[in-house]
Chains A and B, each alone.
Chain A
Amino acid sequence: DGGITQSPKYLFRKEGQNVTLSCEQNLNHDAMYWYRQDPGQGLRLIYYSQIVNDFQKGDIAEGYSVSREKKESFPLTVTSAQKNPTAFYLCASNLSGTKLGGNTIYFGEGSWLTVV
């Protein structure tokens, strides 16, 4: 089945550690996104990538890093510089809007990150 796969679903991180969240999509989508969602809050954009080997900072990029070496993969690293990383992280993708309905955003199941 086509879709977006995020892993792990739950992750615990010790303070001072970097962790990487995986996001893979087999929808042949051009664009991929990472959002952060805090309990009871909306979605805030961390990074996005419109095409392979290119990405842009979103509204809350500090303390995070990404790479887009392959079209289907967009991993997010939460670095020790992120002071309050405990949150629900959502990866998403779309076709980039060139076709009717093409910019519909598809989300993965999400990853819960907790700092212990």
Chain B
Amino acid sequence: GQQVMQIPQYQHVQEGEDFTTYCNSSTTLSNIQWYKQRPGGHPVFLIQLVKSGEVKKQKRLTFQFGEAKKNSSLHITATQTTDVGTYFCAGERNNFNKFYFGSGTKLNVKP
């Protein structure tokens, strides 16, 4: 069954608006990773979160890992057309090196 749920499935925003995607796991994760897949491309690693309550920033992107290590979010401030793509979370349980990917959130940014 689905191990990691991700919402929303799609998000259409006007350039300059903010965007957030959420991932939720039914079980505690040892870590969570985020990937971006541009249209027609392959997923590319963005970041990994390991610690409970961890927050990391990459320019306009803010990543959070929940206190219970079951949920995570990616927030983009003031979106740009270059942010277009599908964002995936991937959770690892028990450090077994097997990853459960969320279904992805497809972001479209209108100029």
Contact = CB atoms under 8 A, between A and B. Distances in A.
Interface of B: 6, 31, 33, 35, 41-45, 48, 88, 90, 92, 95, 97-104, 106
Nearest to A4: B42
Report, nearest first, the 3 A-B pairs whose CB atoms are least far apart.
A42-B103, A43-B101, A107-B42
Contacts, number: 53
A105 B42 contact: no
B37 to A, nearest CB: 9
Contacts of B102: 42
A97 B30 CA distance: 11
Interface in A1-50: 31, 33, 35, 40-45, 48, 50
Interface of A: 31, 33, 35, 40-45, 48, 50, 90, 94, 96-97, 101, 103-110
Contacts of B44: 107
B103 A109 contact: no
B97 A43 contact: no
B2 to A, nearest CB: 9
